[in-house]
Structure 1
Amino acid sequence: MLIVPTAGDQRIEAARDAVSFWNARLAELEVATRLDGPRVVVAPPELRDIENYARRVAQRAVRLPAGDAEPDAPAEVTNLDADVILLLSAQDILSYAWPLPRIEPPRYLVVIRSVRGPDRGDAMVTRHVVAHELGHTLGLLHNEEPDTLMCGPCQPLLSIPDETGYLPLTDSERARLRALHP
């Protein structure tokens, strides 16, 4: 599910493209897992509650480890019918993928910050940020290689995409995806 503040949000296309990128990579790896094409929901009544939860998570994520202290997701989030809720936020906050606490099977809130400031409006940066965060929902972690998709820290404007138009995955990330999604 893709939640957007306005129907004209330029990040919608980047989100769709990132889902297509992942589905192509998963097909190449011959695993059964696929991401559903995002169902776009424009300014739902729950948007304010979802944005507030996104801010609470972003504020605490840099200070506390996950566990009992993390805030429960509000019903406005948990009642949404999606394994991955992708919020194109109106806020200038950290982009992240967050496993919703104490929910089985696991579900994720992926938050993509608003496009403000130098380079944030660059389509390549937005596509890479969305694809990077979706990679976390598939089980990938940050690596130490700045010129790869799951980089930490990342430098997408200084890096050269591969033939897919995205920064590459490492061999170990491909192996991890095969192991996690047989």
Structure 2
Amino acid sequence: MRVLARVIDAVLLSFLIGLPIALVKFLLLGFLTHNSAANSAEVATVLLNDKIVSTVSYVMFYIAVFLNDVVFVAFKGANIGKLLIGLRVINAETGDKPTFGQAAVRTLVYFSVPMVFSFISIWVSTAIFQSLAILSYIWAPILLITIAISPPTFQGWHDKAARTTVIKKL
């Protein structure tokens, strides 16, 4: 059920923020690179502009993720995907909604690896860092495995760090 909630979040965020970001990025890069690059200095400028626009795009995306995961969890007890399928995030110690701080810790632990490697992959072009970027794609499955092997609470690292757990809404 948690995987389905995350898929719903990913689809919603892709349409609500991902598509507009992609459009803005496309338009900005088109504007910034209106004249085709004729020499290496112009090529370097185009590449720098792409890195800047990509960084702004990632920042906008992670702000949207932060709003979905932190604000919704802190105020509604679940992000959009969890609300739609009837799951709730609770404070593991009190059973109440998580505090804003708990929701922030939960989100930062969940998205820390993808965020770091997203930004590294933009600015560092060495083969070793590009190879390490694969960690951003396997992070979610690693978290899912930690959830699956931690009965009876089925808490992932992000839940344990924030002292939260996910339950079915009553």
Please give the TM-score of this superposition, normalised by the length of structure 1.
0.25
Higher helix share: 2
**Structure whose CA Rg is larger:** 2
